[in-house]
């Protein structure tokens, strides 16, 4: 719904136009704004300005409400979770790129050093659930099982006998 070279997030529609585009009453748009379901941008005079993405969101809120029978609190939670999932996907994307770059750097470094000196010392992909940080001094995890040093129990023949005095 990109018009005139503006992005989908550009706040261009006044409330009456956004209401017409979404098929909702302007008062419904105000209520959705108050509830935090769809929060439009603001013009310098504090008037609401809706973007194409906001209009899409208004339509989705209406669909969830009318077709799926979900109440507004449920819709708000759904929208929050959708935003969180999108943020997490973006984070995973960036972490995946960083991991690939690190793997490439390690492979280049390994190729520059020649063949490994020990048989079986070549780099192999390994799946682990822990992250190893090189060059950083880490404190041991207090939750890990640490073996306590054995304490010596006092021997009976070395104990002081109160009757000896």
pLDDT tens digits, residue range 109-142? 878 876 656 666 566 666 666 665 666 555 666 6
Mean pLDDT of 20-30: 94
Long-range CB pairs of 42-46 (<8 Å, 24+ gap) are 42/11, 43/11
pLDDT band at 82 (very low <50, low <70, confident <90, very high): very high
CA dihedral 84, 87, 9, 46 (to 10 degrees): 50
Check if the beta carbon of residue 72 is closer than 8 Å to that of residue 65. Answer: yes
Q: What is the pLDDT of residue 74?
A: 96
pLDDT band at 146 (very low <50, low <70, confident <90, very high): low
What lies within 8 Å, CB to CB, of 17 at 6+ separation is 50
Distance between CA atoms of residues 65 and 54, nearest Å: 16
Q: What is the pLDDT of residue 101?
A: 95
Q: What is the pTM of this model?
A: 0.56
Q: What is the pLDDT of residue 143?
A: 60
Q: Is residue 60 over pLDDT 80? A: yes
């Amino acid at each position: 719904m990109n018009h005139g070279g503006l992005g989908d997030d550009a706040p261009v529609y006044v409330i009456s136009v956004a209401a017409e585009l979404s098929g909702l009453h302007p008062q419904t748009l105000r209520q959705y704004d108050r509830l935090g379901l769809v929060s439009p941008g603001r013009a310098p005079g504090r008037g609401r300005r809706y973007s194409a993405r906001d209009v899409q969101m208004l339509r989705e809120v209406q669909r969830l409400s009318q077709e799926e029978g979900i109440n507004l609190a449920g819709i708000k939670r759904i929208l929050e979770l959708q935003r969180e999932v999108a943020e997490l996907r973006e984070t995973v994307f960036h972490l995946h790129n960083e991991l690939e770059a690190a793997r490439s750097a390690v492979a280049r470094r390994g190729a520059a050093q020649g063949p490994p000196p020990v048989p079986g010392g070549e780099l192999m992909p390994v799946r682990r659930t822990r992250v190893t940080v090189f060059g950083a001094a880490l404190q041991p995890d207090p939750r890990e099982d640490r073996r306590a040093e054995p304490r010596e129990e006092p021997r009976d023949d070395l104990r002081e006998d109160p009757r000896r005095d």
